[in-house]
């Protein structure tokens, strides 16, 4: 067995990013994600990388845009209000077809909200990570080990598809420590002929740009990008099925709340209730097929989130009326208890 370390989710994300070949980090402190920046501040100078604490989130994301333009693997991280500030730059990054990875360690909102764990940024991450017609790939790990695994996928897929990739974490997953082992996986090195990294007069210069004043030209860039999105949808949508094969009630949950739901599903099984869970690992693309397939046997669905109900929209779209969907959530920084979720499952089983 590979050596297991005890690490906070935030630290594991940072170490995995370095292992995946990231040598540039730009950020600005905010609870509960600051350990990522602190880890990078310690490590980057020792490995010839760049750690820079910018004067604001907006400055940091624009530094990401610059580094990504030069073709290097680059990371930024923040928490909910800070992500809102970064969305302008993210939209420019998407419009310029640049790869980068951005981590959101969610806290309660809206506004400055609170600093406790939340999942209230689902809509922002999957629908509105900035203005304009675009998506970002969104991963939602639910353990410290899975964080490590998705960081590699995030950097690889950002480069492959030239899109921003978000890792949507939260205060609970970021602050908790769990055993983690690091895979023996090489950072994938992709040739980036589009990068603006100096041409020594040996080729035509590359232009990184998101401004197109001719609508025909702009439409073409958007349509081309959406063709890539179709490939992404087909290849990357991912979910974990837990005890769904014979389940009457399927609970859908991601990230931190899926940990609570797993305990509740186990408790329901102990009481003889046929409950199971589908856990989306990618939120965009949403694992539509996993949900639709479960509807062939399950009678009811229950969506559990640390919000007032955001992912439930995608669950409903995936089900397309095939089964009724109920919702249970806590918000504002409250983590639901397994007992509360069990109560909801029991109500549906009656």
Partner 1 sequence: MTRNILLAGFGGQGILFAGKVMAYAGLIEEKEISWLPSYGPEMRGGTANCSVCISDDPIGSPLVLKPDILVAMNLPSYDKFINEAAPGATVVVDSTLVEKRTERTDINVFYVPATKLANENGLKGLANIICVGKLLKETGFASYDAVEAAIRKCVPAKKAAMVDFNLNALKLGMDN
Q: For residues 86 and 221, is the Cβ–Cβ distance under 8 A?
A: no
Number of helical (H) and strand (E) elements in the chain, helices listed first:
12, 14
* Alpha-helical runs (H) found in 200-307: 215-236, 255-270, 288-294
**Interface pattern 288-327 for partner 1 (x via CB under 8 A):** ----------------------------------------
Is 81 one of the binding residues for partner 1 (CB under 8 A)?
no
Tokens linked to 188: 């994938």
Is 260 one of the binding residues for partner 1 (CB under 8 A)?
yes
In this structure, the number of other CB atoms found within 10 A of the CB of residue 276 comes to 22
Q: What is the DSSP letter of 297?
A: T
Binder to partner 1 among 24, 73, 262, 316 (CB under 8 A)?
A: 262
Is 275 one of the binding residues for partner 1 (CB under 8 A)?
no
Binders of partner 1 among 171-190, rule CB under 8 A? 171-172, 175-179
Min CB(46)–partner 1 separation in Å: 16
Min CB(134)–partner 1 separation in Å: 34
The phi, psi pair for 258, rounded to 5°, reads -70, -25
**Interface pattern 25-64 for partner 1 (x via CB under 8 A):** ------xx--------------------------------
Q: Which one, 6 or 197, has the nearer CB to partner 1?
A: 6
Q: Which one, 35 or 159, has the nearer CB to partner 1?
A: 35
- CA angle 202–206–208, rounded 5-degree value: 160
CA distance 132 to 280: 25
Interface size with partner 1, residues (CB under 8 A): 25
Is 112 one of the binding residues for partner 1 (CB under 8 A)?
no
**Residue 317 vs residues 103, 119, 265, 287, 322: alpha-carbon distances, Å:** 26, 19, 24, 11, 10
Binding footprint of partner 1 on the chain (CB under 8 A): 4, 6, 31-32, 114-116, 171-172, 175-179, 259-264, 266, 335, 337-339
């Amino acid at each position: 067995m590979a050596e297991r370390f005890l690490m906070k989710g935030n630290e594991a994300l940072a170490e995995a990013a370095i292992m995946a070949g990231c040598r540039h980090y730009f950020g600005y402190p905010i609870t509960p994600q600051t350990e990522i920046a602190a880890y990078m501040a310690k490590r980057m100078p020792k490995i010839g990388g760049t750690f820079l604490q910018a004067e604001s989130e907006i400055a940091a994301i624009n530094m990401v845009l610059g580094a990504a333009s030069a073709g290097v693997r680059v990371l930024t991280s923040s928490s909910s209000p800070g992500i809102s500030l970064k969305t302008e730059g993210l939209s420019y990054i998407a419009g310029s077809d640049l790869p980068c990875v951005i981590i959101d360690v969610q806290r309660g909102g809206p506004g400055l909200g609170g600093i406790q764990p939340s999942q209230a940024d689902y809509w922002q991450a999957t629908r509105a990570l900035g203005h304009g017609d675009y998506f970002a790939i969104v991963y939602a790990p639910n353990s410290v080990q899975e964080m490590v695994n998705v960081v590699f996928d995030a950097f690889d897929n950002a480069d492959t598809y030239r899109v921003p990739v978000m890792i949507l974490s939260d205060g609970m997953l970021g602050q908790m420590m769990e055993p983690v082992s690091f895979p023996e996986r090489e950072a994938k090195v992709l040739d980036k002929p589009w990068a603006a990294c100096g041409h020594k007069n040996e080729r035509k210069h590359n232009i990184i740009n998101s401004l197109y004043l001719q609508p025909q030209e702009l439409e073409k860039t958007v349509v081309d990008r959406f063709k890539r999105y179709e490939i992404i949808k087909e290849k990357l949508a991912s979910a974990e099925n837990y005890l769904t094969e014979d389940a009457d009630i399927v609970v859908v949950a991601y990230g931190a709340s899926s940990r609570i739901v797993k305990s509740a599903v186990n408790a329901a099984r102990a009481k003889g209730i046929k409950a199971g869970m589908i856990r989306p690992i990618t939120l965009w693309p949403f694992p539509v097929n996993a949900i639709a397939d479960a509807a062939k046997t399950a009678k009811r669905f229950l969506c559990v989130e640390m919000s007032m109900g955001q992912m439930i929209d995608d669950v409903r779209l995936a089900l397309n009326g095939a089964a009724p969907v109920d919702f249970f959530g806590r918000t504002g920084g409250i983590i639901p208890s397994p007992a509360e979720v069990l109560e909801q499952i029991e109500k549906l089983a009656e």
